[in-house]
Amino acid sequence: MVAIAVVGSALALPWSGGPTAWAQPSGPGPGAGQVERLQGFSTVVVNHVNEVLGTENLPVASGGGLEPGVLVTVGLDQVQIFDRRVAALQGGQLVDTTIAAECESGCPAVLYDAFARSWLEAAVESTAFAVEIPQRVLLAVHRELPARTLLQAAYAASETRPGQPPQLALLVNDTRGSLRAQPFFLVPPRGLVMRQGSAALGLTVEVSPGVYRVSAT
């Protein structure tokens, strides 16, 4: 069973490098003119997801527009960061489940190390080409992927980014078959600290095969 928390109107799952062309420019600087900027980010994402996963296998839901960021594809047999295979899966679950000692949420080392490498590459590009480190992570996951695997990938991506955790979004198909991005938020590994008098509404969503339960806290 997986517990999911909802705080206010935001979905909070238990916490919240790639091509330079997908990073956001921070301003002109040495070497900035050498960066090749790709056009049509949505087209790039759709083509990649269709090739690796198939957009028809994404969850069906509503969402917003696609914004540039780090693209993570999680099928039932592998995890990719951009087009780099970083972990093997069997039936949507990690083959190597060794936990990374540095990961406060207890995420697997194979994912923690892979995301740490990608963020390091992004940081190097940021310095070399005067662009910002990507602020978003887009997760394209198979609709039958176990929730645990999704959380492991999301936490690994969040805990390894330099500075602040990234904005997270799940790629979905809307009712018209268009690819959209549904933002979500993770509860910090050590929980949330609410100030006295806070008016936040906390919900706990417990998910198990064939049933889910929502309760207020």
Q: How confident is the model at residue 38 (pLDDT cuts 50, 70, 90)?
A: low
203 CA to centre of own chain:
22
Q: What are the pLDDT digits (tens) for 46-86? A: 999 999 999 999 999 999 999 999 999 999 999 999 999 99
Q: What are the pLDDT digits (tens) for 101-130? A: 999 999 999 999 999 999 999 999 999 988
Strands of 179-186's sheet in order across: 93-94, 84-90, 78-81, 70-74, 136-141, 167-173, 179-186, 10-13, 2-7, 202-208, 211-216
For all residues of the chain together, what is the average pLDDT? Answer: 84
